[in-house]
Amino acid sequence: MKISIQQLNPKALGFEKNKELILSKIKESNNDVLNVFPESAISGMPLMSAIEYEDTYINSALLCEEICQTNKDIILGTPIKIEDNRFNSIVFFSKGEVIGLSTKKNLGDFDIGFDSGSGIETIVYNGKSIGFGFEEDLEEFALLGNRVDILIICSNIVFELDYQQPLYSKLIPIVRKMDTTLIFVNRFGAEGGYLFAGESFVINKRGEICSMLPLFEDSSSQIETDNLKLQYQNPLPRMERLYMALVFALREYFSKNGIKKAVLGLSGGIDSALVVVIAASALGKENVVGVLMPSEFSSEHSIEDALCSAKNLGIEHHIVPIKNSFDVMSSELMTHLPSDFDLAEENLQSRLRCVTLMWFANKLCAALLNTTNKSEAAVGYGTLYGDTSGAISVLGDVYKTEVWELAKWINRNNELIPYNSIHKAPSAELRPGQKDSDSLPDYDILDSILLEHLENRKGLEEIILETGHPREIVEKVLRLIRINEWKRRQCPSAVKVTKYCFGLDRKYPIS
Amino acid sequence: MKISIQQLNPKALGFEKNKELILSKIKESNNDVLNVFPESAISGMPLMSAIEYEDTYINSALLCEEICQTNKDIILGTPIKIEDNRFNSIVFFSKGEVIGLSTKKNLGDFDIGFDSGSGIETIVYNGKSIGFGFEEDLEEFALLGNRVDILIICSNIVFELDYQQPLYSKLIPIVRKMDTTLIFVNRFGAEGGYLFAGESFVINKRGEICSMLPLFEDSSSQIETDNLKLQYQNPLPRMERLYMALVFALREYFSKNGIKKAVLGLSGGIDSALVVVIAASALGKENVVGVLMPSEFSSEHSIEDALCSAKNLGIEHHIVPIKNSFDVMSSELMTHLPSDFDLAEENLQSRLRCVTLMWFANKLCAALLNTTNKSEAAVGYGTLYGDTSGAISVLGDVYKTEVWELAKWINRNNELIPYNSIHKAPSAELRPGQKDSDSLPDYDILDSILLEHLENRKGLEEIILETGHPREIVEKVLRLIRINEWKRRQCPSAVKVTKYCFGLDRKYPIS
């Protein structure tokens, strides 16, 4: 049987765009091919509150009707309303008719608002028994002893740096036990902080991965189920996948939101030096504007390093010192509450930089890029309405130690990121001689604690046991994580690359 | 049978505080009384990601052990781990032993991460059959034909202005059908934007509400199930409940976060004039600081009205014109991108006000109050990192037309809110002669569209039919709601008083 895996990138609620995409793919396909599209190909995902609106189902039904009328054989995902029930469904069209329907039974995180359906459906098609439906319902289907010749899963798997092994380890035994061929069709794309990998694949009866579509790419692949070829390649190195993910997410964010230009502050530090490289790669150097905003506490090397960053990439840049505005504002304010230079003045500098950057963003119809990393976000090392601002947080799910690793990987052939930005001690430079290490443990210690607590879900005692770090340091870090949740609640969405991304997956109670 | 309804206010993950609260209530009770506490009395709610942490269950189990050892008869809610399963549970202690356990089966919004349990449990206690468990499991329990003498529900009902009627209408038929007495124990308090009403109640076999504890108050009430007295009072008027909710939420936010002082900008407009009254009532006038920040576009009456607001309440206030800092910054910036006064300069003013307010907040260890209303939040009428900022959004779930209504209600006896602030046309005053109505429909039209779309879940065609407003106005409003989701994502939590509060209940896809 000929199956065409249609790995595409639907936009959430972008019905018109999704229709064109799907119809153009179908047009290209031959009549004897079964076209398989991902979950929610029609509506995009996540739908969130739109799951509760009638319009979502009306638009989806109209589009399904048009697709059905192409008279081709098609399997695709769509929201569907049947009487008063709302389902996340997979529809099977053949020769202008609906010949099968699977509704998701075991609902996932994106399915809040849907009703639970009946799970994977089986159907006889072209003389073969076919099971089709959702990944979440697969385990139950296998447990019930079902047997089919071919299993087709339409999915929406969320990309994480290490998503593949757990997924394959779960699926391969099921495929072997069921003695079947698994066709797993994934969407690619980015939406609301989530990345979708693509990397659709086929697993043969022996449990071998024998076909894989590319990462983050629009791609179709036609297979013959009776003649599968081993085509699996080892995944790219971790840092390369991370770089691809961040570049792709940024490109998607700008194109889906119809924005061309990005603005960011260049401090000479490693975070902004890394983000500007990612931005130039994602958007083109002509669309990235760097702003240097030295204060009286900026060291000379900061300005040099930041300039070096901008010049390496050949981007437009401006030097806008904040001294004058800082002096005017702080002397005016001090007349109201006479006091010493303290945290309020440190924050004032950071906030004036945000005001400056947003002025550039507004003038250029650009979006501001946030450069906070996950370690800083975790412990609240940043100024709200200052350096925590931006339309999208590029590194918000990347730990500081990985920021360095990624920077070194990027520089492996040619020094895009200034050597100094990578190797000097991190500093916010908001008061004389300030270093991050004045208020935080060294980043290798900090990150090892964060990793245990955030990714491995360990508590105080376990972390002390696991890492061997002194109790007072672990206690301090956990406390900082807890008390800074309110700050994170107002930060931009990060590009999710780990299992537990702030804002999307990890939410802690705040009073 | 004597039952003591213990309506208390547990703090999310505040195990020590919750323990003291519960033990002090138990201590006061007689030995022949069954003490009933709300859902999650031990751990507080919402627990969010803490549901996945071992510590949550260890701390809960230790506390349960101590409570059990008081040898009193107690029903209370706690998270519990049994083998590898995590449950939201209600435990029944009697004479130092656990005699019953109900685990929630039909999981709710706060239960993501819990496993589904077995539902309402029945037990014979003091010669009576008792059913106890969660509200979510009640319908199923009744449908199965169960009969008990007394039904005890430990709950966490989220306050909304109109939450009562739907709840009673659902419960009363169940109670009548089951021919039982229902004891419904609710927590009160505020946490993460959610309000919890308290208003625990008893419904007798005839379906009459015969006892109700107060709204938003720590309260215990002892009842004799064989001798129930009708005590139900009609709820307070809607505006009074709204005022109580906003004042209580603000007081809770500050006390649970250990903050004393609030700062806010006073523009002379209705929103800030209303918020400052609420803040003075919640925190005491000595803890509220108003800052007037006129620009060259501020009308004279704005300053007068804002001053009048501050003086009516007797709060500390400062006048900090933003002209100097605006002139210095904008002339510096204009040298980089020469251009006309446009949106960038409008936003610049709003952002300099935010910088000013945050300086005061930092200096005074105070929290900034946000004054955006729900209508503005819906259509994105505000400047990000400008007037959308603040630690908590007091009016973020109150429509503009209700802001006026509430203001008039507050002024019913004595003019706390300046007459002018209520009756003048709303304006952001960021350019000469600007009025809200330049870019938005009149608020009565806007709010009627918002109400249909946000609260009644209607789409374009239905709203046109329902309201009779011109298609282009409805289209414009729906478009504004859609494209401003990204801005709302970075706004502070609002105090939820409607069914669909931005950020908590309503989330729309953003790219």
Whole-angstrom CA distances from A140 to A89, A104, A157, A164, B316 are: 17, 12, 18, 21, 65
Lowest mean pLDDT among A220-234, B212-226, B402-416, B417-431: A220-234
Residues of A in contact with B358 (CB under 8 A): 347-348, 351, 384-385
B12 vs A325, A339, A509: nearest CB: A509
A509 vs B47, B332, B509: nearest CB: B47
For residue B373, the model assigns a pLDDT of 98
Q: Do B344 and A328 touch (CB under 8 A)?
A: no
- ipTM of predicted assembly, 2 dp: 0.94
CB contact residues (below 8 A), chain A span 49-88, against chain B: 49-50, 52-55, 58
Mean pLDDT of the region B40-64: 96
Question: In this model, does residue A231 exceed pLDDT 80?
Answer: no
Question: In this model, does residue B428 exceed pLDDT 90?
Answer: no
Supply the CATH classification number for the domain B2-235.
3.60.110.10
For residue B137, what are its two tokens? 């499991």
Q: Do B362 and A352 touch (CB under 8 A)?
A: no
For residue B233, the model assigns a pLDDT of 75
* End-to-end Cα distance, chain A: 58
Question: In this model, does residue B476 exceed pLDDT 70?
Answer: yes
- Report angle CA A352, A355, A361 to the nearest 5 degrees: 145
Mean pLDDT of the region A381-410: 97
Question: In this model, does residue B249 exceed pLDDT 90?
Answer: yes
Average pLDDT, chain A: 95
Please check whether residue A103 touches B, CB under 8 A: no
CA neighbor of A205 nearest in space, from A187, A222, A230: A230
pLDDT band at A232; cut points 50, 70, 90: low
For residue B10, the model assigns a pLDDT of 96
CA-based nearest residue in chain A for residue B46: A509
Rounded Cα distance, B489 and A253, in Å: 15
Query: Residue A362's beta-bridge partner residues?
Result: none
Question: In this model, does residue B232 exceed pLDDT 80?
Answer: no
CA distance B184 to chain A (A): 25
DSSP E strands, A380-510: 392-393
Strand A128-133 and strand A121-125: the pairing is antiparallel
Q: What are the residues whose beta carbons fall under 8 Å from the beta carbon of A438, sequence distance 6 or more?
A: none
Please check whether residue A113 touches B, CB under 8 A: no
CB contact residues (below 8 A), chain B span 136-195, against chain A: 190-192
pLDDT band at B109; cut points 50, 70, 90: confident
Question: In this model, does residue B469 exceed pLDDT 80?
Answer: yes
Mean pLDDT of the region A88-105: 97
Rounded Cα distance, B500 and B511, in Å: 22
Domain residue limits, chain B: 2-235, 240-436
- CB count, 10 Å around CB of A491? 23
CATH of A240-434, one of 3.40.50.620, 3.40.640.10, 3.30.300.30, 1.20.1600.10: 3.40.50.620
* Cis peptide leading into residue B321 (ω within 30°): no
Question: In this model, does residue B388 exceed pLDDT 90?
Answer: yes
Rounded Cα distance, A292 and B356, in Å: 23
Q: Do B48 and A507 touch (CB under 8 A)?
A: yes
Average pLDDT, chain B: 95
CB contact residues (below 8 A), chain A span 344-363, against chain B: 344, 347-348, 351-352, 354-356, 358-360, 362-363
Residues of A in contact with B492 (CB under 8 A): 489-490
Question: In this model, does residue B290 exceed pLDDT 70?
Answer: yes
- Percent of chain A at pLDDT exceeding 90: 89
For residue B300, the model assigns a pLDDT of 84
Pick the more confident residue, B377 or A232. B377
Question: What tens digit of pLDDT does each residue of A40-78 get?
Answer: 999 999 999 999 999 999 999 999 999 999 999 999 999
Lowest mean pLDDT among A86-90, A455-459, B289-293, B425-429: B425-429
Q: Do B491 and A490 touch (CB under 8 A)?
A: yes
Mean pLDDT of the region B219-248: 91
DSSP E strands, B37-157: 73-82, 85-94, 97-103, 121-125, 128-133, 150-155
Residues of B in contact with A339 (CB under 8 A): 363
**3-class SS at B30?**
coil
Amino acid in position B112: I
Mean pLDDT of the region B440-450: 97
pLDDT band at B500; cut points 50, 70, 90: very high
Q: Do B351 and A355 touch (CB under 8 A)?
A: yes
CA neighbor of B313 nearest in space, from B360, B266, B257: B266
For residue B47, what are its two tokens? 């627990």
Q: Kindly report the length of chain B.
A: 511
Q: Which residue intervals of B107-210 are DSSP H helices?
A: 138-143, 164-178
Question: In this model, does residue B480 exceed pLDDT 70?
Answer: yes
Q: Do A192 and B490 touch (CB under 8 A)?
A: no
DSSP E strands, B355-444: 366-370, 392-393
CATH of B240-436, one of 3.40.50.620, 3.40.50.80, 3.40.50.300, 3.40.47.10: 3.40.50.620
Residues of B in contact with A11 (CB under 8 A): 511
- pTM here? 0.95
Question: In this model, does residue A287 exceed pLDDT 70?
Answer: yes
CA-based nearest residue in chain B for residue A502: B49
CB contact residues (below 8 A), chain B span 200-229, against chain A: none
Burial annotation A449-460 (CB, 10 A radius, 16+ → b, else e) = bbbbbbeebbbe
Rounded Cα distance, B350 and B385, in Å: 8
CA neighbor of B278 nearest in space, from B316, B240, B246, B245: B246
